[in-house]
Structure 1
Amino acid sequence: MKIAVLDINGKDTGRQAELSKDVFAIEPNNHAVYLDVKQFLANQRQGTHKAKERAEISGSTRKIKKQKGTGTARAGSIKSGVFRGGGRMFGPRPRNYGFKLNKNLKRLARRSALSIKANDKSILVLEDFSFEAPKTKNFLNVLKALEVENKKSLIVLGGTNNNVYLSSRNFKGSEVITASELSTYKIMNANKVILIESALEGIESNLSK
């Protein structure tokens, strides 16, 4: 599967990159994509929610009224959840929402996500580039040249490039990551996935195992 390599001005360089069929052209497994995205979102949850239960609030321990003869329900504590100011019944407790998925399923999910984007023609390959210094304007010019300045975009670098990364931080709709940070959620969340040419080898070697 071949795709044209563009430069930072959005022009065709005349070269083509070979995309592995085993990574970019498989039959997508939608359930694997669902599970991997679900795990990613679950891991973002802090799980620090907490409400005080009846054993944790301040209040008298005396029996608030006699057991019989009042014509109403029995009551032994003002801290009961049925009373105003009482403890929360079955309230939220701190917990970890994360769950495990095996590596093969996660690789399948990422291959499926990339195949979906490739099938939708939502993947671009860009030749390697860098900036002399972090500058937002330079990064914006690249987005404009690729016609993605008003879309959610994911730029995948072959390795760490601080100048490109720092130049991108002011754009909420654009994210710059390295090939090792690639996740199913980030792929599916982007309208356009822009792969830097040097990132292709790392992506294919990681996902072809």
Structure 2
Amino acid sequence: MEVSVFNIKGEDTGRKVTLNDSVFGIEPNDHAIYLDVKQYLAAQRQGTAKSKERSEMSGSTRKLGRQKGGGGARRGDINSPVLVGGARVFGPKPRNYSFKLNKKMKALARRSALSYKAQENAIVVVEDFTFEAPKTKTFVETLNNLKVADKKVLFVLPGADKNVYLSARNIQNAKVAIASDINTYGVLNAASMVVTESALSAIESVLNK
């Protein structure tokens, strides 16, 4: 599949690049996408919820009433879960929600997500660029020039670029990522992808291993 190459002014350079079919033209695997997105979201969970059990409560351990004849349940000390202000039974504990997913499955999921974006014509390829200084106004102009300002956009660069990152940081609908770090969730969450030529080569290199 061929796509046109634009510059950051939104002008067609007259050149075209071919999207690698093994990365952008496969039959998408929805189950692989589901698993990879599930793993990504699970890894974002803090898992820090915690409630005190009976042994962790501060309070007297004196037995409140006699064992029999009180007319109610045996409730023991004041930390009993059946009393107001007492402990909680089987409450949450800090835990790690993340789980393992094989590298081949993750790569398949990313290729599937990229293939969906290619099918939707939601990939814009631009010439390699950088900004002389961090400036949000310059980044907004670039979005307008490429006609993606009203969409959720994922900007993919070949490597870290501090000026571009800082220019996009205050724009709610724009995310900047480097080619080796893109993930299935980020690709699918964006309505459009803007990829530099070098980043395109890097993506194909990483996902063709």
Equivalent runs, 1:26-41 vs 2, <5 Å: 26-41=26-41
Structure 1 residue aligned with 2:92: 92
Matched, 1:118 2:99: no
Structure 2 residue aligned with 1:75: 75
**Letter of the aligned partner of 1:45 in structure 2?**
R
**Letter of the aligned partner of 2:205 in structure 1?**
S
Structure 2 residue aligned with 1:108: 108
CA distance in 2 between partners of 1:70 and 1:160 (Å): 72
CA distance in 2 between partners of 1:92 and 1:39 (Å): 21
Write out per-residue CA displacement over residues 136-195 of structure 1, whole angstroms, 9 at most, x where no aligned residue.
Answer: 111000011112222110000012222111111111210111101111111011010111
**Letter of the aligned partner of 1:107 in structure 2?**
A
Structure 2 residue aligned with 1:178: 178
1:48, distance to aligned residue in structure 2 (A)? 1.6
CA distance in 1 between partners of 2:83 and 2:150 (Å): 53
Structure 2 residue aligned with 1:133: 133
Matched, 1:44 2:34: no
**Letter of the aligned partner of 2:75 in structure 1?**
A
CA distance in 2 between partners of 1:121 and 1:77 (Å): 67
Secondary structure, counterpart of 1:118 in structure 2: helix
1:43, distance to aligned residue in structure 2 (A)? 1.0
CA distance in 1 between partners of 2:122 and 2:6 (Å): 14
**TM-score w.r.t. length of structure 1:** 0.97
Tell me which stretches of 4 or more aligned residues in structure 1 moved more than 2 Å: none
CA distance in 1 between partners of 2:80 and 2:150 (Å): 54
Structure 2 residue aligned with 1:2: 2
Structure 1 residue aligned with 2:189: 189
CA distance in 2 between partners of 1:106 and 1:59 (Å): 50
CA distance in 1 between partners of 2:166 and 2:183 (Å): 21
CA distance in 1 between partners of 2:198 and 2:133 (Å): 20
CA distance in 1 between partners of 2:145 and 2:36 (Å): 32
Q: Conserved in 1, the CA contact under 8 Å of 2:75 and 2:82?
A: no
Aligned length: 209
**TM-score w.r.t. length of structure 2:** 0.97
The farther-off stretch of 138-147 and 75-84 is 75-84
The farther-off stretch of 2-11 and 182-191 is 2-11
Write out per-residue CA displacement over residues 80-137 of structure 1, whole angstroms, 9 at most, x where no aligned residue.
Answer: 1111111111111111111111110000000000001111111111111111111111
Unmatched tracts of structure 2, length 5 or more: none
**Letter of the aligned partner of 1:110 in structure 2?**
R
The farther-off stretch of 145-154 and 28-37 is 145-154
Q: What is the percentage of aligned positions where both structures have the same residue?
A: 58
Secondary structure, counterpart of 1:193 in structure 2: strand
